[in-house]
Amino acid sequence: MQDEKLAEQHSVLQRLEGEVNRMREFQTVQLPKMVAQRRATQVDLGRRALEVMRRLEMQRQQPTTQSSRDLQMLGERVDQAAQMLSTQLQRRLQRLEELMGELRMQD
């Protein structure tokens, strides 16, 4: 009976050790990859946002026959879009920093 209990405890211990090993592997291999991919995605989104803002600014500066009211509305929309993109990028950067902090704390 004690042999069965010892065998069961040993089995449970081995399963737990296996889980711990898998978690360590995830922490050392997969999590940094995920963080790097997320960072790359955010950098790409930032580049796209800047490109959109540049294009909109170029459109704003081009001479046009539109009325000044239309130009003013376009400028306001560009400013709103720039503010929204800036806020989004700031939130994503903050989240990335939180994830990096958690990763450092786990080490």
pLDDT tens-digit series, residues 52-106: 999 988 887 776 565 777 778 888 999 999 999 999 999 998 988 888 888 888 8
pLDDT of residue 26: 87
**37-61: b (≥16 Cβ within 10 Å) or e:** eeeeebeeebeebeeeeeebeeeee
- Residue (of 40, 42, 54, 59) closest to 82 by Cα position: 54
d(CA 53, CA 80): 11
pLDDT of residue 107: 65
d(CA 81, CA 49): 9
Task: Report how far apart, in Å, the C-alpha atoms of 87 and of each of 56, 81, 101 are.
Answer: 18, 10, 21
Average pLDDT over residues 4-26: 91
Is the confidence at residue 11, as pLDDT, over 90?
A: yes
pLDDT tens-digit series, residues 35-46: 899 999 999 998
Is the confidence at residue 17, as pLDDT, over 90?
A: yes
pLDDT of residue 63: 67
d(CA 75, CA 51): 16
d(CA 36, CA 55): 29
